[in-house]
Amino acid sequence: MSRSSNNVLLIILAFFSIYVIWGSTYLLNKIAVNELPPFMLASIRFTIAGLLIFAICRIIGIRIKITLRQLLNTAVAGFLFLTFGNGVVVWALKFVDSGFAALEISAQPLVVLILMRLIEGKKIQTMSVIGVILGIIGIYLLVGQKEIIAKENTVLGIIMIFCCMLSWGYGSLFVAKADLPRNFFVNTGYQMFTGGLMLMVASFLFDETWISPVDWSSEVQISMVILILFGSIVAFTSFNYLLKKVSPEKVATSTYVNPIIALLLGWYFLNEHITTQSMIAAVILLTGVYFINTKRRFTIISRYKN
């Protein structure tokens, strides 16, 4: 097989990873959180993933030594993206359908854009203004469904997911200026490891009962393995590989595909109901995200949310 053929195959596999694997993390987290405490679940996922990244770096000869400031900055990023940003989403999945959560989170570019305007004073372009308006309409249609918000604690779950989006958005602005390890793999490893440790502390503070992996159901065991190896390591590596091989606009298409994958998987495996209003909201919301992403370079930061 020629070198160009190998590159094409790797690109196809990488797109499969960021489309399907990242889209499936909502389902996998939903399966696991139905049996395990949320902060314990997220802590195990990211702590082990971080340690595995360090081991891989050691094997392939990548230095993992960083400065104290870089360590502190990766810990801050780990908190914003993983401890709060992901851990609370996993908690919210106890009350919100996986497909619904994915669709709400697809509005993340809208939140980042608004924060950039409020915090950094950056002007919002005309196309992005249209995107913001469509995004707000889509979110309103999504969360305004009486049959959904009538469920116990669903409104709380929706609000907390929005708080997570604010955390990711601020994290995106923070890391853009912070002194972080140059190697993205090392950077990811430290953020996952420190974020996982803080999730462990949160788990103890909330008095969660830790359950031995041998006592997990086979479905949860499989979900955790996929989340650790594929959702945390393979998909993220694929994402950064694609950023070097194809245009950022093509990589950003995962923003539109992930929620659709999540909706279909939740419907098929968990019998989650997809309402007509949810489908209309999805079309409007994702169209808004498209307008926001038009001619904007996507940062790798937003990908930590899954």
Residue ranges covered by each domain of the chain: 3-305
Average pLDDT over residues 278-304: 73
248 pLDDT band, cuts 50/70/90, is low
Q: For residue 116, give every residue at least 6 positions away whose Cβ sits within 8 Å of its Cβ, in sequence order, or none.
A: 122, 173
296 pLDDT band, cuts 50/70/90, is low
Residue given tokens 């019998």 in the structure block: 271
Residue 201 confidence (pLDDT) above 90? yes
| Cα 186–Cα 18–Cα 251 angle in degrees, nearest 5 | 90
Residue given tokens 């939140």 in the structure block: 111
Spatial distance between the Cα atoms of 275 and 280, rounded to a whole number of angstroms: 9
pTM (2 d.p.): 0.89
Distances (CA, A) of 156 to 113, 143, 170, 231, 296: 24, 11, 21, 26, 32
Residue 298 confidence (pLDDT) above 70? no
Give residue 203's pLDDT: 98
